[in-house]
Amino acid sequence: MSWPGFASLSAAWYLLLLAPLILFYFLKLRRPRVEIPSLALWQQVVRDSRVNSPFQRFQRNLLLLAQILLLLALILAAMQPFWPARSQTARYLPVIIDISASMEGVEKAGGQTRLQLAKQEVTKLIDGLMADQKISLIAASDSARRLTDFTNDQRILKAALDQLTISESTSQLEDAFRMSIALARTVPVETVVLFSDGNVPPEFDLELPFRVSFQKVPAATSNVGITEFNARKSRENWEVFARVEASSKFAGLTQVEFFENGELLSSESISLAGGSAERLIFRTSSPESTEVALRLVPDGVDAVGSDNEAFLVTPQVRPLSIYCPPELTTFRHALAAMKDVVVFPAEGAATPSSVDLVISNQVADAERDARVILTVGLVPAELESFISTEEVATGSGLAEVTDWLRTDPLLRHVQLLDVQIGGAPQLKEGESDRTIEAAGFQVVATSTGGPLVVSRPSGAQQRYHILFPMERSTLPFRVGFPILVANAVDLAQNLAGLNETKALRTGVFPPLTLQPETRYRIVGPVEPEWKLAAGSSLRLSPMAANGRQRTTARTTELTTDANGQLAGVAAPAVGVYQIFDGGTLVKQIGVALQSVQETSLFVQQDLRFSEAKVSAADEKLAVETPLWRWFAWAALLFLLWEWWLFQKPALPLKRA
């Protein structure tokens, strides 16, 4: 059996105030001597004289008793009594709160979200804080954010908790645990508390120096959402593909609405049984750059609203622009047989300054602005000190390909066996493929004498270097040569977004390629600028939204690096994001949740770390129960009682 404790036992010294209270009661100032016209008051005067005498036994007095009880209640409240928890209290307690999309889940329309349930439990922790305890709040979704430092200020903790909102992204938690590990290096952390619905990854490659208390809130069960949303180029427009999945407890009809530039193009109902999925195909009506959106309107209870919308911006359908000098006749001949490509230089057409693909044997062409650059018969300047260029010029017999990276995009399905190469490059004495890799290159194909094909990413640009002269090899006469050229074209189309485009996931954008060293303004998520069709609105239905409000568009500014890479763009919510250069709109990006993990509402009962397994707690976290409030209320009641006794009129004297 545990006994109540006191967080501030030193306040017991205030009990000494009882002595002067009683002493002053006995040593009241004597009343002045006054002549009275009647002897009827003598009995009361004698009684008062005895009470004012410090050495006489005073009679029972309710006013003094009320004052003593009032003082005792105030002193006990100052001592901060509490009912201790069953386990030992931690002095420093990091509290991780899962705010991923599944924490938006409800069991019925208008019900409490999982985050609201978690907030209630964290509030109990805050209310039970003792004077020597401190809490640090950490919000976790696809990344971690520290809300407060270690503090026992309940106003700061509750204010941070009240401002916590759902992040429409997946749950990772690893960053949150790493942040807790960093905190454990500064203060003694014995326990970390995690509040989550269990819709998290099951394994973490971490070694924890503390114990984890996994407090699982009841998880939602019924949900349907969009888990994939992408588009592929057809002949004259785009085919849009979507995948809709349901959780294991969902059953019912779902209305699927497809929008193009705000106009409702398609609407159909699909029936999904628990745990099933359906793939849908739509087609845009224009080859121009188009904003498309998909919306789900479930007929039944839908726990999560953020996976009911998906946005995508398709680029304009256009041919791929390629620069290939006339002397590379083999490459130009292979390109001429391909559709949807334009090869420069071309008669009667000016060569643009920026193209999608460069295939050249000229050093100057390697500096052109392009998505993919493929040089032939040239050794990069960074590798000239490792590879003998004389062998390339004079030749040293025939070489054969001994190995190549078959999964590389350039050499996929390309057969290089029995290809003979004259003038193959040779590694200098003492050098190896590791030297090439240390210089930032990847060896894609090699011979016994050294590398034959190397690659290197440069920001969003991909560079390939065929180190041997193509005219001195048998590769152009092989079936693999047109496949190699087709692979280069396909790679350029993918990087330019001309072949396939996908809705990005919420969280953080992958690096975007824009103008180098330029400051851009990112706004989003925003409502689409196009006017919606009459009678329709690209917003969540009340049942699907579950009270969720559209996140207000926010503005951030970031600067690209020397390679034109814009990194670290946050996308915390579903919608359309716009990128501005000054007042000019340069890019629009559609974002969707697209998470099978969040949509399925699958619950993990155990979390596995490198050296431990943590199971969800069977009981709620035990916290100290503060009792000082009860004594404060008692002091108020005693004060009111004392005031009533003092103000109560005296009883009239009875006549003899």
Helices of type H across 344-500: 389-394, 433-438, 480-496
Check residue 593 and give its pLDDT.
Answer: 93
Would you say 316 and 344 are in contact if contact means Cβ atoms under 8 Å apart? no
Residue entry with tokens 């960053």: 175
Which of 179, 220, 175, 224 lies closest to 201, judged by CA? 175
Contact 302, 224 (CB under 8 A): yes
Cα separation of 13 and 65, whole Å?
20
β-sheet bridge partners, residue 560: none
Q: What is the DSSP string of 369-386?
A: B-SEEEEES---GGGTTT
Q: Are 307 and 262 in contact (CB under 8 A)?
A: no
User: What does the H/E/C string look like for 149-168?
Assistant: CCECCHHHHHHHHHCCCCCC
- What's residue 620's pLDDT? 66
In this prediction, residue 581 carries a pLDDT of: 92
**Nearest-angstrom CA–CA distance, 79 and 7:** 6
Cβ proximity of 297 and 257 under 8 Å: yes
Q: Is 273 exposed, middle or buried (CB count within 10 Å of its CB: 0-12, 13-18, 19+)?
A: exposed
Spatial separation of the C-alpha atoms in residues 478 and 436, rounded to whole Å: 28
Residue linked to tokens 């036994």: 57
Token pair of 185, please? 């290096």
Task: For the chain, list residues with pLDDT below 70.
Answer: 1-9, 25-61, 63, 80-89, 389-397, 459-460, 527-552, 619-628, 645-646, 648-656
Residue-level pLDDT at 530: 39
Give the Cα separation of 412 and 137 in Å (integer).
Answer: 49
Q: How far apart are CA 540 and CA 294, in angstroms?
A: 11
Per DSSP, the three-state class of 365 is: helix
* CB neighbour list of residue 382: distance below 8 Å, 6 or more residues apart: 439, 440, 441
Extended beta strands in 205-246, E state: 211-216, 224-233, 238-246
How far is the CA of 111 from the CAs of 100, 246, 303, in angstroms? 18, 20, 10
In the chain, count H helices and then E strands: 13, 38
Residue 252 identity (one-letter amino acid): G
Question: What's the residue count for the chain?
Answer: 656
The side-by-side arrangement of strands in the sheet containing 224-233 is 277-283, 238-246, 224-233, 500-502
Helix (H) or strand (E) holding 446: strand 442-447
The structure tokens 């006469």 sit at: 477
CA 317 centroid distance within chain: 33
Q: Which fold, 92-219+604-628?
A: Rossmann fold (3.40.50)
Q: What is the pLDDT of residue 298?
A: 92
- Please check whether the two domains, 224-317+505-599 and 320-496, share a CATH topology: no
224-317+505-599 has CATH 1.10.10.10 classification: no
What is the residue extent of each domain of the chain?
5-79, 92-219+604-628, 224-317+505-599, 320-496
Decide if 285 contacts 260 (C-beta within 8 A). Answer: yes
The reply to whether the predicted model has a pTM over 0.85 is no
Computed from CA positions of residues 59, 60, 62, 65, in that sequence, does the dihedral angle turn out positive or negative? positive
pLDDT in the model for residue 43:
64
CATH topology of domain 320-496: Rossmann fold (3.40.50)
- Position 36 scores a pLDDT of 65
- Distance, in Å, from the CA atom of 284 to the CA atom of 231, rounded to the nearest integer, reads 10
Tokens of 460: 């969003």
Closest residue by Cα to residue 136 from 199, 87, 84, 182? 182
